[in-house]
Amino acid sequence: MKSALDATPLLNAAQPTPPDMQRSTRDKESLKKSCQGFEAIFIQSLFKAMQKTVPDGGLIKKGSATEMFEEMLHQEIANKISQKQSLGLADQMYRQMEKKVDPAK
């Protein structure tokens, strides 16, 4: 009878790894997050540029609170796009820069 619980990932995680490998893994994870952050900033700047093309006016006047809300909304949408869908910019940057992360530091 096969158990639904598989202990292999836990056993693999418990295996000691050399400090250089741990550092390399941490560096690569940090690099991935940084690339995604850069892509999010890029997407947010695209949203700002697009927002400038929309004419002011309408039924409700825009105040500082509305501007702040829209900026926060654009920031959150940009973060989600960079994490989930991605334009591919973060992936390309990561592939290019991961070669610079040396496991034998």
* Tens-place pLDDT, residues 34-87: 999 999 999 999 999 998 898 877 777 888 898 899 899 999 999 898 888 778
- Residue 56 C-alpha from the chain's centroid: 32
Q: Is residue 85 domain-resident?
A: yes
> What's the total number of domains in the chain?
1
Alpha helices in the chain (DSSP H): 8-14, 19-52, 64-80, 89-97
- Domain span at residue 89? 34-52+62-97
Closest C-alpha among 90, 80, 92 to residue 33: 90
Q: Is residue 6 domain-resident?
A: no
pTM to 2 decimal places = 0.67
For residues 78 and 43, is the Cβ–Cβ distance under 8 A? yes
